[in-house]
């Protein structure tokens, strides 16, 4: 189990991480979400032991995680951390990068493990290619395979899919997180992508200005955001005053009705494949909603929040 207890950290005078506390059970995946510069990456580095804490404590399976003041080589052997810069060796092959830390005593076992990992990240056809000849997305996939090589107990991923094409990203996410669950590898992923959060995380930590301001399951935080900041991390969200009450409403929750208190006029229609995202104006600002068809600018009608029964 990971325990983060009242952690404070600052690079200089200004506090970067403030009073951060949470626990994470074995085999669970947690997502850290928040705006750029909120402290997501710093928190991962602290958990890995790359920095010394100002205050507080971090324990992995009751063993203190200590920083550079205590370890000549920072980091915990039972953890692996994937940074955004990948840190591959450019002049050796993809297979050599993935197998860099694997034992050479049994070559057949090593090669089988390398092939298994390359299959997970869909890079089998590039095994003999030198890393310097890969694209950014391909390098990121190789880096993911490499951190899995020794099967860590805790995996720390910092924006692990940021350079990968959308058509391949979805497949890779499913393969990776399925593998982590199968092997009961605990994972923390810092991300700005709501798909990482909603589809694969067991719990979510919402960070703002170095503090955890909300924590819960993806379903709860999505359905019951405490404020506009939390809701906006999952995508477009409207903050609309209806009958004197400010409400946070996602675009898919609004439907066209014959009559309501919310009358709007279409400004733009954005085609998204299966739906249109409609931007409209009402007396107090703009609002976004989803529709099966697009509407010409100037079209006027009424909107209402549709009721969804939860069993």
Q: Which domains does the chain have, with CATH numbers?
A: 2-228 (3.40.50.300), 236-305 (2.40.50.140)
Distance of CA 25 to the CA centre of its chain: 18
CA distance 297 to 265: 8
Q: pLDDT in tens for each of the 311 residues of the chain?
A: 999 999 999 998 889 999 999 999 999 999 999 999 999 999 999 999 999 999 999 999 999 999 999 887 888 889 999 988 888 999 999 999 999 989 999 999 999 999 999 999 999 999 999 999 999 999 999 999 999 999 999 999 999 998 998 888 989 999 999 999 999 999 999 998 888 889 999 999 999 999 999 999 999 999 999 999 999 999 999 999 877 788 899 999 999 999 998 899 999 999 999 999 999 999 888 999 999 999 999 999 999 988 654 44
Dihedral sign, Cα of residue 108, residue 113, residue 116, residue 117 = negative
Tally the C-alpha atoms within 13 A of residue 105's C-alpha that lie toward its C-beta. 1
- Would you state the pLDDT for residue 74? 80
Residue where the block lists tokens 């909120």 = 38
Query: Distances in Å between the alpha carbon of 161 and those of 52, 121, 164, 205?
Result: 28, 11, 5, 19
pTM attached to this predicted model: 0.91
């Amino acid at each position: 189990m990971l325990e983060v207890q009242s952690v404070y950290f600052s690079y200089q005078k200004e506090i970067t991480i403030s009073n951060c506390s949470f626990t994470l059970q074995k085999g669970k995946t947690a997502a850290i979400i928040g705006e750029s510069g909120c402290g997501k990456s710093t928190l991962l580095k602290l958990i890995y032991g790359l920095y010394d804490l100002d205050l507080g404590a971090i324990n992995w399976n009751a063993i203190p995680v200590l920083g550079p003041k205590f370890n000549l080589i920072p980091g915990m052997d039972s953890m692996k951390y994937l940074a955004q810069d990948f840190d591959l060796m450019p002049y050796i092959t993809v297979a050599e990068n993935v197998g860099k830390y694997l034992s050479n005593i049994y070559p057949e076992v090593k090669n089988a493990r390398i092939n298994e990992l390359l299959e997970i990240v869909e890079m089998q056809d590039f095994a003999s290619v030198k890393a310097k000849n890969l694209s950014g997305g391909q390098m990121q996939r190789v880096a993911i395979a490499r951190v899995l090589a020794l099967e860590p107990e805790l995996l720390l991923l910092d924006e692990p899919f940021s350079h990968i094409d959308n058509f391949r990203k979805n497949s890779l996410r499913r393969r990776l997180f399925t593998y982590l669950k199968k092997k009961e590898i605990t994972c923390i992923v810092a991300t700005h992508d709501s798909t990482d959060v909603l589809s694969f995380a067991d719990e979510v930590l919402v960070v703002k200005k170095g503090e955890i301001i909300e924590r819960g399951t993806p379903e709860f935080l999505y359905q019951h955001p405490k404020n506009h900041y939390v809701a906006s991390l999952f995508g477009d969200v409207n903050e609309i005053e209806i009958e004197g009450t400010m409400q946070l409403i996602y675009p898919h929750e609004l439907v066209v009705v014959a009559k309501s208190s919310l009358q709007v006029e279409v400004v733009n229609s954005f085609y998204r494949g299966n739906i249109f995202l409609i931007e409209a104006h009402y007396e107090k600002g703009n609002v976004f909603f989803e529709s099966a068809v697009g509407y010409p600018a100037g079209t006027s009608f009424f909107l209402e929040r549709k009721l969804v029964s939860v069993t």
